[in-house]
């Protein structure tokens, strides 16, 4: 394939992993950004659902434990209080973690350029951002993080490890990893980087392949540019949402709008208020053949995009069953800069489906155990088949 844009695949990197563990780690060992709140997920104002959790969090003693000065003990107290809410997705962020999440969702972070996931008790590097300090130093995907600044990472959450790797630009951090049984150490210098969550390439026969790593700020605009910025109509679009754990709900709506004439993308249901219909902007490209590629790591906001395009017969869905997260969270910022996040509602696809726990079954199934390249080849075959059915005057 030839490069269509200068964007590179592998978005969000180390700071993205902070939210990633929270969304998919519990069930699948995967990583990803969750669908935070609708419209402006990072606004500071409290919400009714979040307010209900506030007393136990603000006063640890009420949660059944004495206040502790140790940050790890304080975190444990707050997390016990949140578990009592019965909310699977309720989470606590330290001030540093929440600031990192804000930056990540806005498409920027300061760190070393690593994509992390939790596997058992280990935090493994699953991607290294091109041009990052980690890549220049020789860190590789598959390395297992053993320590950050001399602190052992075994049994730590991926959020804690990601937060330790982040920091002010031009500051140093020591990273220790295991690679094939050999211990290695790297002295890295943090830098400010764009997340690069959208990449696009063009196949020899004119299919535009757009990969979205997460729905961070500006993703919808970049997808539209990749589709409309061609000098001629492409021979089809493959929208790759594999391992995309979600992100900002408004960016998901904007992305769906690129391919829809307007109309319903999803319905948001919040307790105590009438359902809100999330609508696509009019004028999307409804003619270009479209395939959406998904897998078990496709979750939350990514499922909104796949579900809306599938329900409205705009795209063929290829791959394996998606994760199945149909809830929406909003944060409440506490006085010290930390935050709690709780579920405030659920969304439904245009046909009324609640994807929570069920996910999306693809139209064209590819066994989840097959190599990723096989799923992509199958998806490209479907795109080309759709393109071949168009009248010649409609082709690029």
User: What domains, with CATH codes, occur in the chain?
Assistant: 1-11+25-107+196-396 (3.90.226.10), 109-194 (2.30.42.10)
**Which of the following is catalytic: 325, 327, 338, 387?**
325
The model carries a pTM of 0.70
Residue 40 annotated as catalytic: no
224: phi > 0 → left, psi -120 to 50 → alpha, else beta; which? alpha
Q: Using CA atoms, how far apart are residues 337 and 150, in angstroms rounded to an integer?
A: 26
**Which of the following is catalytic: 94, 311, 320, 387?**
311
Residue 300 annotated as catalytic: yes
User: Residue-wise pLDDT tens for the chain (396 aa)?
Assistant: 322 222 222 222 222 322 332 222 222 222 332 332 222 232 223 333 333 333 334 443 334 444 445 777 888 888 888 889 889 888 898 888 888 778 778 877 788 988 787 778 889 887 788 788 999 999 998 899 999 999 999 888 887 888 889 888 899 999 999 999 999 999 999 998 877 788 899 999 999 999 998 898 999 999 999 998 765 666 899 999 998 888 888 999 999 999 999 999 999 999 889 999 999 999 999 999 999 999 998 999 999 999 999 999 999 999 999 999 999 888 889 898 999 999 999 999 999 999 999 999 999 999 998 888 899 999 999 999 999 887 665 444
Q: Which residues of 63-99 are buried (b: 16+ CB within 10 A; e: fewer)?
A: beeeeeeeeeebbbbbeebbeebebebbbbbbeebbb
**Which of the following is catalytic: 36, 94, 300, 338?**
300
Residue 325 annotated as catalytic: yes
């Amino acid at each position: 394939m030839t490069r269509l844009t200068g964007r590179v695949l592998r978005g969000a990197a180390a700071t993205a992993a902070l939210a990633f563990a929270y969304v998919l780690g519990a069930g699948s060992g995967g990583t990803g950004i969750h669908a935070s709140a609708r419209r402006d997920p990072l606004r500071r104002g409290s919400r009714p659902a979040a307010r209900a959790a506030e007393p136990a969090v603000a006063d640890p003693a009420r949660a059944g434990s004495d206040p502790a000065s140790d940050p790890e003990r304080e975190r444990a107290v707050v997390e016990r209080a949140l578990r009592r809410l019965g909310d699977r997705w309720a989470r606590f962020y330290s001030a540093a973690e929440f600031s990192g999440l804000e930056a990540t969702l806005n498409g920027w972070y300061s760190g070393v350029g690593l994509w992390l996931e939790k596997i058992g008790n280990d935090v493994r590097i699953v991607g290294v951002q091109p041009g990052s300090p980690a890549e220049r130093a020789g860190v590789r995907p598959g390395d297992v993080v053993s320590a950050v600044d001399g602190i052992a990472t075994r049994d730590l959450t991926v959020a804690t490890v990601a937060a330790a790797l982040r920091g002010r630009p031009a500051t140093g951090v020591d990273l220790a990893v295991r690679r094939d049984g050999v211990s290695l150490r790297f002295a890295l210098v943090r830098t400010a980087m764009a997340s690069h969550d959208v990449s696009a390439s063009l196949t020899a026969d004119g299919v535009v392949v757009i990969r979205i790593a997460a729905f961070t700020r500006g993703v919808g605009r970049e997808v539209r540019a990749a589709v409309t910025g061609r000098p001629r109509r492409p021979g089809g679009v493959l929208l790759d949402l594999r391992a995309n754990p979600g992100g900002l709900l408004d960016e998901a709506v904007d992305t769906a709008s690129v391919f829809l004439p307007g109309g319903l993308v999803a319905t948001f249901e919040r307790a105590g208020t009438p359902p809100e219909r999330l609508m696509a902007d009019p004028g999307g490209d409804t003619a270009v053949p479209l395939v959406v590629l998904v897998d078990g790591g496709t979750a939350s906001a990514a499922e909104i995009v796949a579900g809306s395009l599938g329900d409205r017969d705009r795209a063929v869905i290829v791959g394996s069953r998606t994760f199945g997260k149909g809830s929406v969270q909003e944060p409440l910022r506490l006085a010290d800069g930390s935050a709690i996040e709780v579920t405030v509602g659920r969304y439904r696809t245009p046909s009324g489906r609640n994807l929570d726990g069920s996910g999306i079954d693809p139209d064209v199934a590819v066994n989840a155990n097959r190599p990723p390249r096989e799923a992509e080849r199958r998806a490209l075959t479907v795109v080309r088949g759709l393109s071949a059915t168009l009248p010649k005057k409609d082709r690029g």
